[in-house]
Amino acid sequence: MTAEVELEGEGAEPWGKRLRTLLDRELRELLALPSNLAGLVRLVSRQVAAGLDFDRMEVVPLSFLDVELRERVVDALARVPVRRERGGEAHEAEVLVYILVEHEAAEKPLFPEGLLAAESRIYAWDRRQQEATGLAAGQIRLHVVVPILFYTGARSWRPLPTMLDVVACPRLFEGFVPRNDLLAVSLQETPEEALAEADRFFGAVLRLLQARGADADSYRELLGRMIRVLDELVAVDQARWHKLAGSMLSLSLFFRASEEHARLVDVVVTNVGNAERAAEVPVMAKTIAESLLEQGWKSGEAAGKAVGKVEGKAEGKAEGKAEGKAETLVRLLGRKFGPLPAGLAERIRLVRDEGRLDAWLDLVLTVERLEEMGLA
């Protein structure tokens, strides 16, 4: 049965239990971001990752697995251009990076012919794509498929065997057996340092996934530490910060007991360094809780109640930080320009926009007259 399946309307996908479906969706969304996919590839092969230009990658929203494999594995395909070496080939080369994610080590191992069948479907799809551009059969050159197996489960796991391992083949005929070279990594067997070296931000999310079964105190400590890792992203890539922080919240609410949820959301609020972003955490958590409820998860109701307990704290954190900046600005203005005009200090203290306050704090260092501050 052909298995080139559109990945739209994901709620109808028959991919196993609900928890695994949620995790599959979360990982697929994460791997659709170039920096995250680059980090995963770097985790299994720095050499392969260095040869690819992930900034120009294109996600292919299809599954190429047969029905049986889709019950236990999620796949994701991306077209990724090859970095052209100086003096290298002039044509625009690309490869097809094929990610397979397995969450549980089943009694029945993954068979190499399943991977071979999926790769055959990818090559057939690639040929049709090129034929659609008007290329003649003799002009078509298929793109190499680079399969990567990412195992996230806690049980012992062994790498996928090769076709030579399962085919009874005399040495004389080994050349007729298809190769199915594969890059593979087990999350549970990967040290935290290796995750951080591959990509410290995506690695922080994977570290939480790795520790999903830890005791409550250890998990909270780790969650706070991993959230702080993301602080650098706030100033340079807020979209990526939102996705990664949201994924940390999602994983925490998916896997941890409902009685832990309030403290987990509180840990995230407390450890986000930017007050404006901290105020957004309850909103993200509420969205996740509502999504869980829509899908019939009772934990969604518990998560919603947990959010309500920390919303005030997040708002207070943002307001308190803005108040501190406003007070600093009033003090600096007074020291530089003397007594302020009537009502100006009070108006400044009412400002809650940290961006405006930061701009004024920068400006006060350079202007010569109060009127240049634009505070009127």
Q: What are phi and psi of 15, to 5 degrees?
A: -110, 45
Q: For residue 172, give every residue at least 6 positions away whose Cβ sits within 8 Å of its Cβ, in sequence order, or none.
A: none
pTM: 0.75
Give the pLDDT confidence of 192-210 residue by residue, as tens digits: 999 999 999 999 999 999 9
pLDDT one-digit tens code per residue, 163-199:
888 888 899 999 998 887 889 999 999 999 999 999 9
* pLDDT surpassing 80 at residue 215: yes
Query: Which position has the token pair 């680059």?
Result: 38
Q: Please, are residues 240 and 55 in contact by the beta-carbon 8 Å criterion?
A: no
Q: Hey, where are the domains in the chain?
A: 1-189, 320-373
Is 24 or 203 the better-scoring residue by pLDDT? 203
pLDDT-based confidence at 305, cuts 50/70/90?
A: low
pLDDT, tens digit, 9 for 90 and up, residues 72-119 = 889 999 999 998 765 555 457 999 999 999 887 655 556 788 889 999
- Write phi, then psi, for 301 (nearest 5 degrees): -65, -40
Nearest to 208 by CA among 193, 192, 232: 192
User: What confidence score (pLDDT) does residue 259 get?
Assistant: 85
- Mean pLDDT over 242-264 rounds to 88
Residue 36 tokens, joined:
């995250």
pLDDT reading at 12 higher than 50: no
Tens digits of residue pLDDT in 337-376: 888 887 888 888 888 777 788 788 888 778 888 888 888 6
pLDDT of residue 105: 63
In this prediction, residue 325 carries a pLDDT of 77
- What's the confidence (pLDDT) of residue 375? 80
Cross-strand pairs, 150: 101, 185
